[in-house]
Amino acid sequence: MPDFELSEDYQNLSDTVREFADQVVAPVSAKHDEEHSFPYGVVSQMADMGLFGLPFPEEFGGMGGDYFALALALEQLGRVDQSVAITLEAGVSLGAMPVYRFGNEEQKREWLPLLASGKALGGFGLTEPEAGSDAGGTKTRARLETVDGEKMWIIDGNKEFITNSGTDITKLVTVTAVTGTSERPDGSVKKEISTILVPTNTPGFTAEKAYNKVGWNASDTHPLTLKDVRVPEANLLGQQGRGFANFLSILDEGRIAIAALAVGAAQGCVDESLKYAHERFAFGQAIGKYQAISFKIARMQARAHTARLAYYDAAARMLAGKPFKTQAAIAKMVGGEAAMDNARDATQIFGGYGFINEFTVSRHYRDSKILEVGEGTTEVQLMVIARDLGL
């Protein structure tokens, strides 16, 4: 039988990050949320702890851990502050991971130590105004031209909702762009999509004004404009024309990470509600004594628990080199739903206080909605699961 007990290393890591989340992150969460400010101090301490290097080998400045270690860290951070968790998630699995998975030796040497140290952040420029779940609708174009005797990619286009793309420490955005077309046997045109490394100090690259979001207020999200952006031919990441396949595999992994973050959020709602159920008295006793409350919290705990098992399973398959696409989709879907459902129940338990922004549960209520949308909407996960069933 499979065993879901964490090994000592994983447990120690999880406990350490939990302590960090409670002692360092939680006390400033409400402030950054209210001010919509990026938590540079917190991120810098996460960098010192090596969290941005968790799944990378030591030769590239990593911690020599694995993707499950990252997921455990994300769960503990997501419990108290989803903005901080998504900053780590995007920094590692979208910023650095594509370079690690698809970069050549030189690209890895140039970027990984910097990104794994957490002293610099990378972003992944995939989503566009007209390309979300249908990422194949990419309009950004890159053409290879000789400029002053050197072959350069010239990139033009717009990106939307790009995490970590405009902080003071953002150094790199990997963008997807159409680099050519081919004809399918039926005569229709197929876009050839590639991924290209764009250092953010390249002229023509602009992170536009940050969005005014419903939640994840302390996470850095911008639209990007690329206008006549020129980078060397060697900045092509992975094979030309493999960009679509590559980013799909990055998204599959990313779903496990987002699922873990969502489980953290769902658990955070349980923890907060449990504390409140003991403290708050109504009609002469603690509200936890009433089944209306205790059953709600019991159900919340059941959601968090099952969603956790789902991401553990997907991560175990991934690490064992087995197919995990469907399991990652399931984990992402039930995780996002557990977070949203638990946030709704938790705010109900908190009554009027649940409608006050500075309370953790109300922040989870605003933050959790995106967990049903980002990294593949619930509908996209259902498509993946249904396809696996042969439908």
Partner 1 sequence: MKIIVLVKEVPDTYGDRKLNLETGLADREASEAVIDEISERSLELALSFADANAGTEVAVLTLASEGATATIRKALAMGAGSAIHVSDEALRGADLGLTAETLAAAIRRVGFDLVITGNVSTDGSGGMIPAMLAELLDVPHATGLSSVTISDGAVSGSRPVESGVQQVSANLPAVLSITEALPGARFPNFKGIMAAKKRPLEVLSLSDLGITADNPEAARSIMLTVAEKPPRAAGVKIIDEGDAGDRLADFLVENRLA
- Residues classed as catalytic: 375
Q: Give the residue with the Cβ less far from partner 1, 57 or 241.
A: 57
CB of 228 to partner 1, least distance (A): 42
CB of 54 to partner 1, least distance (A): 6
Supply 32's token pair: 């950054």
Cα(86)–Cα(43) distance, integer angstroms: 11
Q: Give the residue with the Cβ less far from partner 1, 64 or 241.
A: 64
8-16, 182-190, 234-242, 264-272 -> range binding partner 1 (CB under 8 A): 8-16
The count of residues interacting with partner 1 (CB under 8 A) is 18
16 binds partner 1 (CB under 8 A): yes
Q: Give the residue with the Cβ less far from partner 1, 8 or 183.
A: 8
Whole-number Cα distances in Å, 305 to 252, 263, 292: 22, 8, 20
Evaluate the CA torsion angle 99, 101, 104, 108 in order and state its sign. Answer: positive
Supply 111's token pair: 């970027």
CB of 16 to partner 1, least distance (A): 5
Site of tokens 């987002």:
258
19 binds partner 1 (CB under 8 A): yes
Choosing from 4, 27, 34, 48, the residue that interacts with partner 1 (CB under 8 A) is 48
- Those residues whose C-beta lies under 8 Å from the C-beta of residue 258, and which sit 6 or more positions away, are 89, 332, 335, 336, 371, 374, 375
Choosing from 58, 145, 228, 379, the residue that interacts with partner 1 (CB under 8 A) is 58
31-39, 44-52, 123-131, 277-285 -> range binding partner 1 (CB under 8 A): 44-52
Q: Give the residue with the Cβ less far from partner 1, 12 or 104.
A: 12
13 binds partner 1 (CB under 8 A): yes
54 binds partner 1 (CB under 8 A): yes
Strands 205-207 vs 150-163: parallel, antiparallel or unpaired: unpaired
Nearest to 50 by CA among 104, 110, 92: 92
61-69, 196-204, 294-302, 328-336 -> range binding partner 1 (CB under 8 A): 61-69
Q: Give the residue with the Cβ less far from partner 1, 8 or 148.
A: 8
43-51, 94-102, 119-127, 131-139 -> range binding partner 1 (CB under 8 A): 43-51
Choosing from 43, 63, 115, 265, the residue that interacts with partner 1 (CB under 8 A) is 63
CB of 378 to partner 1, least distance (A): 32
Q: What residues from 66 to 105 belong to the interface with partner 1 (CB under 8 A)?
A: 69
Cα(30)–Cα(362) distance, integer angstroms: 10
Phi, psi of 250 (to 5 degrees): -65, -40
Q: Give the residue with the Cβ less far from partner 1, 319 or 356.
A: 319
CB of 75 to partner 1, least distance (A): 15
Choosing from 65, 123, 243, 288, the residue that interacts with partner 1 (CB under 8 A) is 65
CA 5 vs. chain centroid, Å, equals 25
49 binds partner 1 (CB under 8 A): yes
Q: Give the residue with the Cβ less far from partner 1, 66 or 233.
A: 66
10-18, 151-159, 204-212, 220-228 -> range binding partner 1 (CB under 8 A): 10-18
CB of 20 to partner 1, least distance (A): 5
Instruction: Report the largest interatomic distance among the alpha carbons of the chain, rounded to a whole angstrom.
Output: 83
47-55, 217-225, 272-280, 287-295 -> range binding partner 1 (CB under 8 A): 47-55
| Burial zone of 185 (CB within 10 Å; 0-12 exposed, 13-18 middle, 19+ buried) | exposed
Q: Give the residue with the Cβ less far from partner 1, 44 or 357.
A: 44
Which residues of this chain interact with partner 1, rule CB under 8 A? 8-9, 12-13, 16, 19-20, 45, 48-51, 54, 58, 63-65, 69
